[in-house]
A and B are shown apart, each in its own frame.
Chain A
Amino acid sequence: MTTHLITRSEVVERSKTLSAFPVLLNQILATIEDVDSRLMVLTGYIERAPIIATRVLALANIAAQRRNSSKIRDLHTAITQIGLGRVREIALFSSVAIFIHGFTTASTPSCFWEHSIAVGICGEELAHYDDTPCLANATLIAGLLHDIGQLWFRCFYSADMHEIGNQAHSHSICIEELERERFGIDHATIGFWLAEHWALPKGICIAIRHHHDTDAALSEPLVALVHVAEVLSNALDLFGNPQNRVTKLSTPAFQKLGLVWGSAKRPEFGPLFGRIEARSRHANDLLQLAG
């Protein structure tokens, strides 16, 4: 039964009382397209973000230690050593982590952030698997933010969400169905409104909007990537979250990524799973640096 209809203006206005969306994130996403100046521009952004610069240096030194190389003390050498792609990944990761921290409350489950990371990194690897590495960073962001609407719900409708969570678990009902019953909309729509308000690229907004309801929006490549990433992150039990479950998946989304036997691009699941797990451990390194 609907108890309170939530509107777009309520979502946007109330989000302004939470942490401000990081300008850095959109700036970094813009450097993906800017081939000529991206190293210099990205270095400039990171120099102005001490937390991220520290993480880049720390990660470069972990790698240097494993190679028995001397300690790296300056940011330029660190960026050269670990590579532009990896640095951008750290910067995106850190910006979203700091931002999401401002959205979390006492009622936010501890596994929430781990699930978001798992979907983000799984999507990033799927983008490489699908020969669309240019989409890797956008998929990472879409994965990290795909459930941001749930965090919004938990901030402003904590008791309702607690009840909905219990109901969904005990009756095996999709959480988004229960959200729609109570509020008239689900967390995917709230996430979409927020992403649009933050001026995120259109593809990321659409992927957040359609991560449960994919089939009408598969013309946007990020939709299949984020949906399949969520399914695989649960199937592979990334981060060992006890709530990891595979219940339903979109066949067209799997077909779009060639993850179906008999498709033109025969899938090689073993290497794909191995790489996803390796990337997941790498993300865990980043998390420990963040701690």
Chain B
Amino acid sequence: MRKRHCYITVAEAEVGMELGAPATGTKQGKLISMSAGHKLTGDDLFQLAERRVEFIFVTEPDPRPDEQVAVDAAQAAHRVMEIFAGADLSDPIIATLFNQVIIYRSA
């Protein structure tokens, strides 16, 4: 099954979620480190919260069929173009921001 990646706050994390990138945190000099692919347990969530880790990057199954993925991507791109409709895209800074938002929405 296709997977999608996103950042979530540790408060949103649930037992069984899979890390898409390593998560690390320290408390009183003690390091905790979890590697990408690790499935979170209740104790992991407690440890991350205790170390004040704010965000983790997780990988989740994406059950959408290909057609739906394409429709969603087109809608997202259309909305970004609407938001930037009045912007001067010849300005390199605005153009960079526009491109990065399009890339982010397509990921």
Contact = CB atoms under 8 A, between A and B. Distances in A.
B partners with A? yes
Interface of A: 59, 62-63, 66-69, 81-83, 85, 172, 231-232, 234-237, 244-249, 251, 254, 259-261, 269-271, 273-275, 277-279, 281-282, 285
Contacts, number: 103
Main SS class of interface, A: helix
Contact of A282 (B11, B83, B107): B11
A231 B97 contact: yes
Interface in B67-107: 79-80, 83-88, 91, 93-94, 96-98, 100-101, 103-104, 107
Nearest to A271: B7
A11 to B, nearest CB: 30
Given A67-B45, A69-B46, A274 B57 contact: yes
Given A246-B84, A249-B94, A278 B7 contact: yes
A90 B94 CA distance: 33
B12 interface: yes
A248 B45 contact: no
A260 B93 contact: yes
Contacts of B101: 235-236, 273
Given A67-B42, A274-B104, 10 more contacts: A63-B10, A66-B13, A68-B15, A69-B46, A82-B49, A245-B85, A249-B93, A270-B103, A273-B101, A273-B104
Contact of A81 (B7, B49, B85, B91): B49
Interface residues of B, number: 37
B9 interface: yes
B76 to A, nearest CB: 9
B93 A244 contact: no
20 contacts: A59-B11, A66-B15, A67-B46, A68-B42, A69-B42, A231-B97, A235-B80, A235-B83, A236-B101, A245-B84, A246-B83, A248-B88, A269-B103, A270-B107, A274-B6, A277-B6, A277-B7, A279-B9, A281-B9, A281-B12
Given A66-B45, A67-B42, A278 B8 contact: yes
Of A235, A279, A282, the most chain B CB neighbours within 10 A belong to: A235
A245 B83 contact: yes
Interface in B11-38: 11-15
Contact of B9 (A81, A246, A261, A278): A278
Contacts of A237: 79-80, 83
A278 B46 CA distance: 19
A278 B10 CA distance: 10
Given A269-B100, A282-B9, A83 B52 contact: yes
Contacts of A261: 96
B52 A246 contact: no
